[in-house]
Amino acid sequence: MIRPILRYGAEVLHQPASEVAAVTPDVQTLIDDMVQTMYAAPGIGLAATQVGVPLRVFVVDLSVGRQATDLLVFVNPEFVLTEGRQFEDEGCLSVPGFNATVARPARAVVRGLDRDGNPHTVEGTGLLARAFQHEMDHLDGAVFVDRLRGLQKQLITRRIRRLARTGKW
């Protein structure tokens, strides 16, 4: 089932998500829904908080569904390692129509459970490392706009407030 993606300003996007106690059939259904929602958007990553579920779950697929083996599911993820820096333009399904350059690690290693509850560890560089950090931010209650400073952040948040006042957000 495709779920609605919450937009910047929704309360659940700005609060840390809770650990998943067990990978139950309900959690697996959530994962399936998140994958369908991510592909329909289309996007390369989606956190459970973005669909209104405050649990530590995210999915990433850099191929946007073209390679079944590229789909990564993380339940209760944690960083094992982050290193280096990259600066690239970034957007977010919860902040449609806005992009900004954000500093992210050049390499990231994430450990968590897969969709069946089995432990796994994945190393990502470049775009995959960026996606890992982006989705982990969501689970920690942050959106990429929160990583911006100064005028860049002010311009985006002002435009969002203006769109919200006119009912277009």
Span 56-84, pLDDT tens digits: 999 999 999 899 889 999 999 999 999 99
Tokens standing for 95? 């902040």
CATH number belonging to domain 11-165:
3.90.45.10
Q: What is the pLDDT of residue 18?
A: 98
135 is catalytic: yes
Span 115-136, pLDDT tens digits: 999 999 999 999 999 999 999 9
Q: What is the pLDDT of residue 85?
A: 97
Pairing mode of beta strands 72-83, 107-113 = antiparallel
Active-site entry in 19, 88, 123, 135:
135
pTM recorded for the entire structure: 0.95
Q: What angle do CA 26, 31, 32 make, to 5 degrees?
A: 95
